[in-house]
Amino acid sequence: MKRFIGVVAVLLLIVGAWGFAPTAHASASGLYTIQPSALLARVNTSDAKRRELIKGKLDLNNSDVREFRRLRGFYPDLASKIIQNAPYNSVEDVLDIPGLSPSQAERLQANIDEFFVTDVEASMNAGGDRYNPGLY
């Protein structure tokens, strides 16, 4: 019985060590090295659009609902109305949103300097991302 256990142990050791040998040969031959590529780096359109944004201001056509939290009284109701009625051609167009209460119109007028308008970016408006950008 002792002899059988010894033979099994030796066989397991050989089989276990056998699995490491091909890796050493493959890495020595250069199979696991990274080769330089001539491909250009992919450009994320959302990141390119973010670089275009003015620091400290909200883009009425591309900002999501959570970005309006920093403006008192905008989140979530007024921010949702702004997003639902986009796109805008100018900042003043936001004052023409139908169904605004007088207090909402006053808030918009008081914070009109906090907004700017750029072209609509599909990657920032696809799906429901302006309502739920997936930040938790």
pLDDT at position 63? 87
Instruction: Give tens-digit pLDDT for 85-110.
Output: 989 999 999 999 999 999 999 999 99
Instruction: Give tens-digit pLDDT for 32-72.
Output: 566 666 566 666 666 666 766 677 889 899 888 888 999 99
User: Does 98 share its domain with 67?
Assistant: yes
Cα–Cα dist 40/33, whole Å: 20
Question: What secondary structure does DSSP assign to 21-77, as a single string?
Answer: HHHHHHHHTTTTSPPP--PPPP--HHHHHHHHSPTT-EETTT--GGGGGGSTTTTTH
Residue type, 16: G
Q: How many domains does the chain have?
A: 2
Whether 100 is covered by a domain: the verdict is yes
Query: Which structural domain, as residue segments, surrounds residue 23?
Result: 1-32
Look up the pTM and report it.
Answer: 0.61
- Is the model's pLDDT at 24 over the cut of 60? no
User: Does 60 share its domain with 28?
Assistant: no
Whether 39 is covered by a domain: the verdict is no
pLDDT at position 25? 55
Report residue 115: phi and psi, to 5°.
-115, 160
User: Does 24 share its domain with 59?
Assistant: no
